[in-house]
Amino acid sequence: MSNIADLEKVIGYSFSNRKLLEQALSHSSYANEKKLPSGSNERLEFLGDSVLSIVVSDYLYKNLNVAEGELTKMRASLVCEKSLHIFAKEIHLGDYLLLGKGEENTGGRERPSILADAFEAVIAAIYLDGGMASAAKHIMRFMPKDIQHAKNPAFSDFKTVLQEVVQKNPEEKVEYVLIGEEGPDHNKRFVVEVRLNSQVIGKGRGRSKKEAEQLAAKEALELMGYEAQ
């Protein structure tokens, strides 16, 4: 594993509290194995997801004069696991991850879900250490330079599509519920149900909660008669 001081140079930000960055790089397999009192990067990932969303929303609002639906689709394309995996690879984030032995031996440094989650955790670490301006500066380096020509993502965000379908009936409510986890830490599968007004309309299994949610939404769309691609 590369020294995290090198990562600070790569991202162009020096931490006042480097323990935040260390935690952001600590996968649950490592935190459990080492019994870290600070825990894994999962709480930071939660916060980073929100910081990322507000920064990207602000960026799109100021640079695209399009309807809310288009803004939602663009934001989804920029903050989904596939995009975050690409961003993480740009800074070789996998080289700096702290992984348990099992995760290390099964290719965890290259796993899209782990890299995407760590990318969000690093955003949160920067936000907590240096504030929103520092976090936004870091995030903006990954945004497309010509947003006008980046409006058609090459993949589908099934959760966004499902939400748009459901929004046609304002009284309807969609929620995603984690109902189980399968397998060891280094090869875990998450099981998620998507529910419409408490009724299960789809189920998905994935290596991350986000992937499971996407697959649950995909199944729901297919059951509703929409062609999910």
Q: Catalytic residue positions? A: 49, 120
Residue 177's SS3 state is strand
In the block, tokens 């998905």 appear at 204
Report d(CA 129, CA 45) in Å as an integer.
15
How far, in Å, are 31, 128, 161, 162 from residue 168 at the CA level? Answer: 44, 38, 12, 10
End-to-end CA distance of the chain: 38
Backbone angles phi and psi of 195, in degrees to 5: -120, 140
Closest of 18, 29, 3 to residue 114, by C-alpha: 29
Report d(CA 52, CA 77) in Å as an integer.
13
Pairing of strands 174-182, 199-206: unpaired
Backbone angles phi and psi of 189, in degrees to 5: -120, 135
Instruction: Supply the angle between the helices 42-63 and 68-79 in degrees, to the nearest 10.
Output: 140
Report d(CA 114, CA 143) in Å as an integer.
21
